[in-house]
Amino acid sequence: MTTEKTKSKKISAKGGHASGVIWKELYSDLPTHVADALREARLKPEQIVVKEDGELMAINGITEKDVESIRLLYNAETVKDAVVASVGVDPRVDPESSTEVKPTETKKPLPPRKRGKKYKLMAKDIKKDEMYSIEDAVVKLQKLSQNTKLKTVELTINTRETGLRGELKLPHSTGKELKIAIFSDQVAKEVEAGKINFSILLATPADMPKLARLAKILGPKGLMPNPKSGTVTDNPEKRAADLAAGGTLPYKTEAKFPIIHLALGKSTQDTKSLVEKA
């Protein structure tokens, strides 16, 4: 004999109830076409937060302007409230059938990091309690890097908040060689075949729906075109020329920490050029 409780457990996910999410009530605070697109894609608020803008634009019907509306309401600071207020739990789902949450195990603290002899020798030349000028710091860095394979000069900036991103125009090239590709059907075939011969992929807004099937490949590698990083543009050819010149440097904070890392160039570059870029 089948009880009502048993029937409730067999409700199809197609209606949006088996997972506890009432899809037709979710995203009611967004424009209708945006809400419909997100529901069709079966994206929960917590999934939206971790997706790049380019991945959202790859969803059929979502434009760059729509992404701005989504980010305004569903972001790292508001998503918890959004889930509580909008998602809800279907009363037909048996609460007793929910999986018991086990307490997380306390991780043991990591042992102190062991440093090599070369690192310790270089560390002796740096006075931790002394504030160096940018020029003195660059000169010191160039001297220390002569005996190591690490040649990249990196500028680390502590900010007050996360979510900062933009682009800098440097007075000199960073010296980094960029492999730039402009999206096409041929590029799509190569990506699907596992051939990624670029470090930057440019696309037009009209290309984004075509890139949807590649999001799972490009997204984890940080190669998905994104309007905020300037890789989604109406004129990809001009953008490619600007990037190839070497003086354009995008920046953004780490995902969870208010820190920005900028690779300004190689320590083998001219001291004056490195100082002016810093």
| CATH code, domain with 194 | 3.40.50.790
Higher pLDDT, 188 or 165: 188
Residue 124 falls inside a structural domain: no
Residue 50's nearest CA partner among 219, 234, 246, 174 is 219
Inform me whether the pLDDT recorded for 52 exceeds 70. yes
If asked whether residues 141 and 250 sit together in one domain, one would say yes
Q: What was the pLDDT predicted at 17?
A: 47
Q: What was the pLDDT predicted at 204?
A: 94
Inform me whether the pLDDT recorded for 2 exceeds 90. no
The number of domains in the chain is 2
Higher pLDDT, 181 or 165: 181
Q: Can you say how many angstroms the Cα of residue 254 is from the centroid of all Cα atoms in its chain?
A: 8
Residue 116 falls inside a structural domain: no
If asked whether residues 26 and 142 sit together in one domain, one would say no
If asked whether residues 90 and 213 sit together in one domain, one would say no
If asked whether residues 65 and 164 sit together in one domain, one would say no
Band of pLDDT at residue 278, cut at 50, 70 and 90: confident
* Domain, as residue range, for 84: 4-96
Rounded Cα gap, residues 233 and 253, in angstroms: 22
Q: What was the pLDDT predicted at 219?
A: 87
Residue 127 falls inside a structural domain: no
Q: What was the pLDDT predicted at 263?
A: 85
Residue 79's nearest CA partner among 41, 55, 39, 51 is 51
Q: What was the pLDDT predicted at 100?
A: 54
**End-to-end CA gap in the chain:** 75
Of 96, 111, 145, at which residue does a domain stop? 96
Percentage of the residues of the chain whose pLDDT score is greater than 90: 15
If asked whether residues 147 and 267 sit together in one domain, one would say yes
If asked whether residues 90 and 142 sit together in one domain, one would say no
Rounded Cα gap, residues 1 and 35, in angstroms: 40
Residue 103 falls inside a structural domain: no
If asked whether residues 92 and 143 sit together in one domain, one would say no
Q: What is the pTM of this model?
A: 0.50
Q: What was the pLDDT predicted at 103?
A: 61
Q: Can you say how many angstroms the Cα of residue 245 is from the centroid of all Cα atoms in its chain?
A: 24
Inform me whether the pLDDT recorded for 115 exceeds 90. no
If asked whether residues 268 and 165 sit together in one domain, one would say yes
Strand partners, 266: 152
If asked whether residues 86 and 153 sit together in one domain, one would say no
Inform me whether the pLDDT recorded for 79 exceeds 90. no
DSSP category for residue 184: -
Q: What was the pLDDT predicted at 105?
A: 64
Residue 241 falls inside a structural domain: yes
If asked whether residues 61 and 162 sit together in one domain, one would say no
Q: What is the mean pLDDT of the chain?
A: 78
If asked whether residues 146 and 253 sit together in one domain, one would say yes
111 touches 38 (CB < 8 A): no
Residue 102 falls inside a structural domain: no
If asked whether residues 9 and 89 sit together in one domain, one would say yes
Residue 105 falls inside a structural domain: no
Residue 256 falls inside a structural domain: yes
Q: What is the mean pLDDT of residues 96-100?
A: 50
